[in-house]
Amino acid sequence: MFRWTAILTSAALVALAGSLPAAAAMPVAGLHTGTGSSDLVQVQAKKKKSARTARQKEIDSSIDSGTVPKRYRSSVPKQYHHLIPFAR
C-alpha cells in the first residue's frame, strides 16, 4: 500500500513541476533576433500548453480511478507489478 501511495505522490509531484508558466520554464528574452522568431516561440508555447493539458488530464483520470498511468510500468521491477494498480 505504501509503494502505491509513493508512486502516486511522485506522479503528482512530477505533474506539479511540469505546470510552471511557460515564461518560467523557458526564458525567451534573448531569442528575438529577427523576423519569424516570435512565431517559433508562440508555436513552442502552444505545444507545451497542449502537452501540459494532456498530462494533467492523465493525472486527473489516474486519481479518479485510483490507478497508476501505464507509462510508469517500465520503471517498476516486474516482481512488483502485481502490487501496483496500473489498470482496473
**pLDDT digit string (tens) for 39-78?**
777 777 778 888 889 889 988 999 999 999 888 889 999 9
Is 73 inside a domain boundary?
yes
Is 55 inside a domain boundary?
yes
- What domain range is 65 assigned to? 2-19+36-83
- Residue range 7-45, pLDDT digits in tens: 766 666 566 555 555 555 555 555 555 556 677 777 777
Is 27 inside a domain boundary?
no
Is 43 inside a domain boundary?
yes
Nearest CA-CA partner of 62 in 22, 14, 25, 21 = 14
Half-sphere exposure of 28 (CA within 13 A, CB side): 16
Report the predicted TM-score, pTM, of the whole model to 2 decimal places.
Answer: 0.42
> Count of domains in the chain?
1
CA 47, CA 69: separation in Å to the nearest integer? 21
Is 78 inside a domain boundary?
yes
Is 13 inside a domain boundary?
yes
